[in-house]
């Protein structure tokens, strides 16, 4: 066995199951939510939607995700991590399938809101589960593995679209999204709650504690920097498939649907490596400055990617954009899981992650609107500013005054 995987092969059965459950949940979350990004073109044509209206549809999903994150975060701290995880997965998978039955923009928007509610709750539940089961020396790598499965889900979504869309249409693409419902049966049967959570669940401190004192400072910084990174991410990656497939005369790169899916999968390979690499770096070096470095490099790379016209060059640059433009999310989940105490961990993580989604909800709509007037390349380049702002806010991070339970300093 490879030496760098010793930490995984020597883990307990429950640690491995928790890691698999959270990873599958995040992977299928990614697949379900990104199916919409890949079928933007045919949905726009059939429902006669403008680019701004299509972006607003994704924005509604993100606002709903913020609400879902808050609600399911509280559920996870009250009822358990695995129960909240399965409930959120059931919601977003069933809602994704319902999108295939939509016959108007209003119906589709309603189903996308339900998708958002479910996807918002999955992240905090799964991240808290892994953070509390895995020991400090391997927590960064374990959480990075969970985060890396977003890239797997994104690539899986691209593959599904390439296979299903040409033969069966965009509605059938959404029907595939019901698959995560099957995974919840295994999670409920085989994944136990963390012992740390079980010991402390009897005490229920008021949620308001995350807004006071040092915890309040951490909440403010994490929520604001995540708002900036999510604005950049959703603004960029919602429109990358459309950027690749849009005709050259309209500012795109003119790739067909199979090429677009292929380019996207290659880009997500870089994303996958970025997630994992961050985890190893975080367990050996300073979490905070590794996080900042990823953001700064992303801010530099995005305008380059948006301005390149040669498809072959895009194929080369794309994985690096994915590596740095998404890999920092491993840092965010590590940092936030270690900043907040067990009794409020899922609630706090759900809040700081998903309040950022409220702000980032404007990104798909804004980028779509700018693309209509200034071109899609210029619109994508604007996300670079958000990456830079997030790096600046992250300089104010500092660990809690005393590590609590599953926390550690960074």
Q: What is the DSSP string of 130-196?
A: HHHHS-HHHHHHHHHHHHHHHHHHHHHHHHHHHHHHHHH-HHHHHHGGGTHHHHHHHHHHH-PPPHH
Q: Are 100 and 171 spatial neighbours (Cβ–Cβ below 8 Å)?
A: yes
Q: Nearest Cα to 32, choosing from 100, 125, 103?
A: 100
Instruction: Report all structural domains of the chain as residue ranges with CATH numbers, in order of start.
Output: 14-199+207-394 (1.20.1250.20)
pLDDT digit string, tens, across residues 41-85 = 788 888 887 767 777 777 788 788 878 888 888 888 888 888 888
Q: Which of 102, 114, 100 is nearest to 64 (CA)?
A: 114
Note the pLDDT of residue 402.
39
Q: HEC states along 29-67?
A: HHHHHHHHHHCHHHHHHHHCCCHHHHHHHHHHHHHHHHH
Closest CA to 260 of 239, 280, 277: 239
Vertex 137, ends 324 and 80: CA angle to 5°?
Answer: 90
281 CB-contact burial (10 Å; exposed 0-12 / middle 13-18 / buried 19+): buried
- Structure tokens given for 1: 């066995």
| pLDDT value at residue 158 | 79
CA angle 315, 316, 320 (to 5 degrees): 110
Judging by beta carbons within 10 Å of its beta carbon (0-12, 13-18, 19+), is residue 12 exposed, middle or buried?
A: exposed
- In degrees rounded to 5, what are phi and psi of residue 147? -65, -35
Cβ–Cβ contacts within 10 Å for residue 11, how many?
18
Separation in Å, CA 262 to CA 66, 96, 154, 160: 31, 23, 12, 11
The pLDDT, as a whole number, for residue 199 is 66
Regions in the chain scoring below 50 on pLDDT: 1, 400-410
**Among 25, 60, 54, 52, CA closest to 37:** 54
For residue 30, give every residue at least 6 positions away whose Cβ sits within 8 Å of its Cβ, in sequence order, or none: 149, 150, 151, 152, 153, 154, 156, 157
Specify the pLDDT at position 407.
Answer: 43
């Amino acid at each position: 066995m490879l030496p760098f995987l010793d930490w995984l092969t020597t883990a307990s059965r429950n640690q491995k199951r928790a890691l698999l459950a959270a990873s599958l949940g995040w992977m299928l979350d990614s697949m379900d939510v990104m199916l919409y990004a890949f079928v933007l073109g045919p949905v726009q044509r059939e429902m006669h939607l403008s680019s701004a209206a299509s972006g607003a549809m994704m924005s509604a999903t993100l606002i709903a995700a913020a609400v879902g994150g808050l609600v399911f975060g509280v559920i996870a701290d009250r009822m358990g991590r695995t129960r909240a995880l399965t409930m959120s997965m059931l919601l977003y998978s069933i809602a994704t399938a319902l999108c295939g039955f939509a016959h108007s923009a209003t119906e589709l928007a309603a189903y996308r809101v339900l998708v958002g509610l479910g996807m918002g709750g999955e992240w905090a539940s799964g991240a808290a589960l892994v953070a509390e089961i895995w020991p400090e020396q391997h927590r960064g790598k374990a959480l990075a593995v969970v985060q890396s499965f977003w890239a797997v889900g994104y690539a899986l979504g691209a593959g599904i679209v390439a296979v299903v869309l040409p033969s069966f249409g965009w509605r059938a693409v959404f029907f595939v999204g019901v698959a995560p419902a099957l995974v919840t049966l295994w999670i409920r049967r085989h994944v136990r709650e963390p012992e740390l959570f079980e010991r402390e669940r009897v005490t229920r401190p008021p949620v308001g504690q995350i807004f006071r004192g040092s915890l309040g400072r951490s909440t403010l910084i994490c929520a604001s920097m995540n708002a900036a990174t999510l604005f950049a991410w959703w603004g960029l990656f919602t429109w990358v498939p459309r950027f690749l497939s849009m005709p050259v005369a309209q500012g795109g790169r003119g790739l067909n649907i199979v090429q677009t899916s292929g380019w996207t999968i290659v880009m997500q390979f870089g994303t996958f490596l970025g997630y994992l690499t961050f985890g190893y770096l975080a367990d050996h070096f300073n979490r905070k400055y590794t996080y900042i470095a990823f953001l700064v490099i992303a801010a530099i790379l995005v305008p380059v990617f948006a301005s390149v016209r040669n498809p072959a060059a895009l194929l080369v640059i794309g994985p690096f954009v994915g590596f740095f433009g998404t890999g920092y999310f491993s840092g965010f989940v590590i940092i936030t899981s270690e900043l907040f105490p067990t009794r409020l961990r899922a609630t706090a993580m759900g809040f700081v992650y998903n309040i950022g989604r409220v702000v980032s909800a404007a990104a798909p709509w804004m980028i779509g609107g700018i693309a209509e007037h200034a071109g899609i390349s210029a619109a994508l380049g604007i996300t670079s500013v958000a990456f830079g702002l997030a790096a600046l806010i992250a300089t104010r991070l500092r660990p809690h005054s005393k590590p609590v339970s599953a926390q550690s300093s960074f």
